[in-house]
Structure 1
């Protein structure tokens, strides 16, 4: 069998793309090295720009009682706190639940899955106008290949700068509020997800972990506790995981959108700093548009070369400036002096704060 689309990587972007393409009548196979459901390091806040698209591709989300977020709080090591309403806002849902629902929907619309499987080799046969993808048990053939494998191992080695840590906790808090609390070397975010739980997730410079005997607990006391609000969150929370979910080697690079003939989306194409709260929406937006462009190719409206150019130009126009801007926010957040100054400036000039937030987000895309 020759599939229309082979998607390597079944994370958020890959699952969304698989459902969208299958819903348009195309045959899809997904190769995923892991299984579902699973926890991932993620802030688990989704911008409302993605809300309508998610409900379109996965109507079962309507049954989830997830919290809507319309307020934002920012703090650092100083006493001053910045609070502001969010014009667009978002909602909270765990990756564990979101990916499971998307996986179930994908199977329902006919997507084929090879789980616990890695793609070993991708070969483009220009004569037959198809691709072959080698997995452990067989060779898969498709008209197009998409890569959505998250942050790739080679990139992690090149720019292993940050470590991400995630907990699910229970504590009394305003579920309509998302909080970002800076500390020396990083920042933590907390917002509610389904079932009254909250996602407490932070990103910290890898050197801070290294200088704390490579101990997450020691690093938390040494760095996070420098922000009194974080210290209180940690001390007043009921932690629901025996151990935190962690990921190392995080960086915020812009990579390629096409490699070896494969169209790339999600974090594999480029990662935005989590402080913007917009990583998941970027992956979903790319999946939405790439599905439309691929449909034009499958139906003969555009050539494969035109597809690649169209997608690459779209990705660059839509995401490149956001990622670059997020790097500045990332660096600013790690330095208490600068982040305290930013809080004072934002408090004195709220239009500037709103502009900074809007620059890292888009408008609803469906």
Structure 2
């Protein structure tokens, strides 16, 4: 396990820790934000109306509703990234890392809108009426090369296949493994139940849901995600309220260190501005997955009159996941003062 961990740390150093990661991720979002004239702000209220079903029509083709698609996508983002991810970002990058997570989310709202819109536009409707979609489908259809002679080289299929395999591998590192590990550790420390037993039970329950396809997954997530978010919201508010005297100093700490970095305090090693930005952007992606390509798979099955409608629904995900939930987590950590503490694990 240590060798695997060392390999992942090395990989993160070349990819997630490199300056090009921040430039590419934020640059793409900034381009679309300016080109589309800030749709995440102009159409925010309209996106909420779409989720509420204001523009639904019985002839719309799809397997899930807007709310079910939103809940399904959020079920894959709300979790470890909102808790451990925020804690690690603040511990390594200081309070300013939370600010850069929020910036990443605000820009990522437009990125997610674009990727979901394209995915919905190029989805496939199978003969039995089921929907298949995602980045691998629009890559297969639109990333081919046409030569001067008119011959089409099917590069899109290769790129799409590579993306599909990479996404499956990524789902272990950013999805199932961190989530199951966090649950099993919590259950073991509280009740003394072996990790393997917890993992086996969770695998069985998840299998029952997944075997039912996207419709069953959507029905489960539309009930679990809202309750999960409300429960976490109440818990975070209670902790913040208990440390109410630290709310204003914590907010000041977030913004005062945005462009100055953070000096070493206690077990905290200190952070430069560049490192705070990198950790904030890195954990922002881990939290809301804007640009990762996973959310378009869930949204492609949604019933929508036009692709951009579902794209507008998707821009709500980074707002809920990062701007609301991660902000609460960040304030909980900062007001309690635990971010100063040095931890071994």
* TM-score of the superposed pair, with normalisation by structure 1: 0.28
More strand by share: 1
Structure with the bigger percentage of helix: 2
Higher relative contact order (CA 8 A, sep 6+): 2
